[in-house]
Structure 1
């Protein structure tokens, strides 16, 4: 087996809302869920396409910070503009409208926020331009 990143975990304030956002708005699917003694988790992703995101809601009474942390999730998308439109329709901020970036060969790049304020980099998938 080769080394690779399987997932990145982020603490969320409302697991149901986050699962809804990542699945309905961004098109991921729930890959698995866990009910652990100290937290509930939902692993979401696009199957074998890239790393998954582990959405973690602590249930042990601890209150980890979940707002506006300096975390960026880079998402390769077929249509970053459409994704930004769906995020905007949820009432969530678009930090930078998706637009071509000459330094990246004209790839379309934008930035948005998820329900907990995590930064989402909306990056045009290399597959979308071929």
Structure 2
């Protein structure tokens, strides 16, 4: 190994150790508020192929944690506050991006549930070579289906 390669490797290790972020830092779960836990669970398990990893019934808050069976990607937490009558579940300003094998097939599953389709599956100029579709889940969250 050359001296330059050794110095680069050493500098990389030093920067990693001195970095304020650990190499293990990552976003593990994303939670969204939903009107009906069972309806939302059915959407994400039956349409997008996720599975229930865990449920929590805390009285003031109920949650269903969803994961992909292969263990890839982050987890999605469906949250519902059963006693909060003022809470609005409208999907405002939230987009969930799922990397999938066949966006068009999933759009058909979503269409079969009579949910809103914002964009049919097709190429997108901003991501050369990618296929993108946009739809809404039962709570009006934007669901982006991306094939790279």
- Output the TM-score relative to the length of structure 2: 0.79
The separation in 1 between residues aligned to 2:35 and 2:126, in whole angstroms, is 36
Bigger Rg, which one: 2
**In the alignment, is residue 17 of structure 1 matched against residue 39 of structure 2?**
yes
Unaligned runs of 5+ in 2: 1-22
Distance in 2 separating the partners of 1:65 and 1:22:
20
Q: Does 2:68 align with 1:46? A: yes
Structure 1: unaligned runs, 5 residues or longer: none
Which whole-Å CA distance do the structure 2 matches of 1:102 and 1:68 have between them? Answer: 26
Q: Which structure exhibits the higher relative contact order, with contacts defined as CA atoms closer than 8 Å and separated by 6 or more residues?
A: 1
Provide Cα deviations, 1:80-128, integer angstroms capped at 9, x if missing partner: 111111001100011001101243122100100000000001101x4xx
Greater per-residue strand proportion:
1
After TM superposition, list the pairs within 5 Å mapping 1:17-96 onto structure 2. 17-47=39-69, 48-96=71-119
- Let me know the Cα RMSD of the aligned residues: 1.3
Runs of 4+ deviating beyond 2 Å: 60-63
Residue number among 121, 127, 145 corresponding to 1:98 in the alignment: 121
Counterpart pick for 2:139 among 100, 106, 116: 116
